[in-house]
Amino acid sequence: MRFKRLAALTLGMTVALTMTAWANESDAVAVYQEMKAKESVMTDMDAYIDVKEEVSVGGKTMDIRMEMNVKINNLRTPDQMRMNTYMRLTLPGGGIPGGASGPGEAVQADDPAGSQFTGNLYYADGMYYMDMAGQKIKVPIPLDAIMASAKQSTGTVADSLDSVRNLKLRMEGENRVLSFNMDEVRMNGLLDQVMARLKSITGNSSLSYRDIYCEYIVNPEGYCIKNRMKMTMDMTIGKETVVLNLDGDVGYADPGQPVTITAPDLTGYTLAQ
């Protein structure tokens, strides 16, 4: 397993149909629809993602942390859309089993307490620029694929009640909290479509979701200000199987307000083969 492949997969697909007749509470449905109405006219997004991951591979388990800041603008005019993602991955001391050097070899931490890897990803005009693990590469990606990836990475995946099960409502201070389970079959169908379009990055790797539980925190104005999520992801990378248990949240800064994105220096990127 290549560490860069694991990091890219985790990032891109970081943070879809059971037939059980779970009931969605009517009050919760009303709040959900209010939130979706606000989201439907938003053009920009500034999301802060903090995910703790329990990674199991090769009979070993470790805990890592992924933090991201995802900025997107011009969502309603796709040909002008820009997206920038800064990521920081914190590994425990001793590194990751089966890391950058290949299966069974660890990435050595600079500090026994752990080490960090950072990267930046930028999308504009049909090209995805990735500056990660000491390499700068660019990959042409269809717009619909990057739009779907943007929705998944920022947690805005519950596009309709068709994907929501057991929707409930409670209060936290002045904010309203929607809790629900995601429809795994439907979500994995959407994920398969995204993975197919991102094949130039993911290769023959496979990825699936299960046990997806979410909460949306909705402020008095009707905007979602935080998304909490727990899920399990199963990945196959070459001959290796990786299981990730994720527990994290996505916070949205100033929802409804414009977001400015400054493009990084795009010189020095090599077109991926």
**How confident is the model over 194-204, as pLDDT tens digits?**
667 666 666 66
pLDDT band at residue 44 using 50, 70 and 90 as cut-offs = very high
Question: By CB neighbour count within 10 A (0-12 exposed, 13-18 middle, 19+ buried), where does 150 fall?
Answer: buried
Q: What is the pLDDT of residues 115-146, one digit of tens each?
A: 889 999 999 998 999 999 889 999 998 777 76
Q: Which residues contact 7 (CB under 8 A, 6 or more apart)?
A: 89, 117, 119, 132, 133
Handedness of CA 81, 87, 159, 219 (dihedral sign): negative
* Interatomic CA distance for residues 152 and 217, integer angstroms: 17
Q: Please tell me the pTM assigned to this model.
A: 0.74
pLDDT score, position 183: 81
Whether 2 has a pLDDT exceeding 60, the answer reads: no
Confidence of residue 18 (pLDDT cuts 50, 70, 90): very low
Of 7-16, 51-60, 188-197, highest mean pLDDT? 51-60
Residue type, 109: A
What pLDDT does 185 receive? 78
